[in-house]
């Protein structure tokens, strides 16, 4: 299964970041590996909601990886490919 295979045919629209974070965790089996480069824009509201969800529910796993994209570009790209795979894709 490729990462694109998990995309819904019709996107869901959320007005609450907590509900969106929970839906993401549910879709990914409760485990998220999130790669966030330093110095580039990020969806801070969503990242904070994912963090709050993981803190409040010990069954959820959230790993955040970060590195300077400009200085370690190739390393970050490799890390991103690894971090964004679900466990069953490894």
Of 18, 25, 50, 21, nearest in space to 36 by CA: 50
Of 42, 41, 32, 45, nearest in space to 3 by CA: 32
pTM of the prediction? 0.67
| Helix (H) or strand (E) run with residue 61 in it | strand 61-65
**How far is Cα 29 from Cα 24, in angstroms, rounded to an integer?**
9
pLDDT (tens place) for every residue of the chain, 90 residues total: 445 555 667 888 999 999 999 999 998 999 999 888 777 778 899 999 999 999 999 999 999 887 765 555 555 555 555 444 445 544
Instruction: Give backbone dihedrals phi and psi of 65, rounded to 5 degrees, phi first.
Output: -110, 135
Q: At what angle do helices 17-27 and 44-56 cross, to 10 degrees?
A: 70
């Amino acid at each position: 299964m490729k990462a694109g295979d998990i995309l819904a045919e019709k996107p869901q629209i959320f007005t609450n970041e907590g509900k969106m974070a929970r839906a993401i965790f549910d879709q990914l089996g409760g485990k998220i590996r999130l790669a966030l480069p330093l110095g580039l824009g990020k969806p801070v509201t969503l990242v904070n909601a994912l963090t709050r969800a993981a803190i409040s529910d010990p069954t959820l796993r959230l790993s955040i990886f970060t590195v300077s994209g400009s200085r370690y570009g190739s390393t970050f790209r490799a890390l991103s490919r690894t971090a964004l795979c679900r466990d069953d894709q490894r």
